[in-house]
Amino acid sequence: MGKSITLNVGTGTFVLLGFAALAFLTTQTTSHGLHLGSAPSYEVTAKFDNIGDLKVGAPVSMSGVEIGRVSRIDLDTKEYKAIVHLQLFSRYSEIPTDSDASIYTQGLLGGKFVGITAGGAETYLKNHDRIEFTQSALQLESLIGQFMANFGKSSGSSGSSDSTAAKPDAAPLPAGKQR
């Protein structure tokens, strides 16, 4: 009977640790807390060729500091680009107009966020301005595909130093003859 109790306690502990790990991962991948009241903010937009799986509510950060959130995502039907609306907190109102926006992957689970890198202009972004310089999301699938294609080319094209290989301009020799 002693082994049965030990087995039950061990199994229960393992299940509880599994639920704790699941709860931790859930808090790390969702947006940070409830936003009942909204802080004063202004909106800027940025156009991207590809946003990957960027979602509304994703953080906008600068130097690792959250400065806003993605408020809306639209499609420009003339240029076929994604228009990302960024709601930036008003206390970060001195972002140079020549700053650039990039889409990055956050953590191991791959949540996307927008990172802004400051430019050097002396004028600042205002409400309804657009960030002109953007870099789209890296797609892991296409990177792996390119790597595999390049790997296949390099391993298939490796030169052989085998002296018995036939030369394209040399005529075959009759049996028993050597050069």
Question: In the chain, how many domains are there?
Answer: 1
Q: What gap in Å lies between CA 98 and CA 129, rounded to an integer?
A: 11
Does residue 74 form part of some domain?
yes
Does residue 69 form part of some domain?
yes
Domain coverage including residue 108: 41-141
Q: What gap in Å lies between CA 33 and CA 91, rounded to an integer?
A: 20
Q: What gap in Å lies between CA 1 and CA 117, rounded to an integer?
A: 64
- The amino acid that residue 160 corresponds to is S
Does residue 62 form part of some domain?
yes
pLDDT: is 7 or 58 the higher one? 58
Does residue 81 form part of some domain?
yes
Give the pLDDT confidence of 69-95 residue by residue, as tens digits. 999 999 999 999 999 999 999 999 999
Give the pLDDT confidence of 138-176 residue by residue, as tens digits. 776 677 788 788 877 776 655 444 444 444 455 555 565
Does residue 56 form part of some domain?
yes
**Residue 175 backbone dihedrals phi, psi, to 5 degrees:** -60, 135
Q: Residue 37 has what pLDDT?
A: 58
Q: Residue 144 has what pLDDT?
A: 79
Does residue 10 form part of some domain?
no
Q: Residue 165 has what pLDDT?
A: 47
Does residue 34 form part of some domain?
no
pTM (two decimals): 0.62
Does residue 78 form part of some domain?
yes
Q: What gap in Å lies between CA 177 and CA 174, rounded to an integer?
A: 6
Q: What gap in Å lies between CA 88 and CA 18, rounded to an integer?
A: 37
Q: Residue 177 has what pLDDT?
A: 56
Which residues does 179 contact at the CB level (< 8 Å), separation at least 6? 173
Tokens of 53: 């799986």
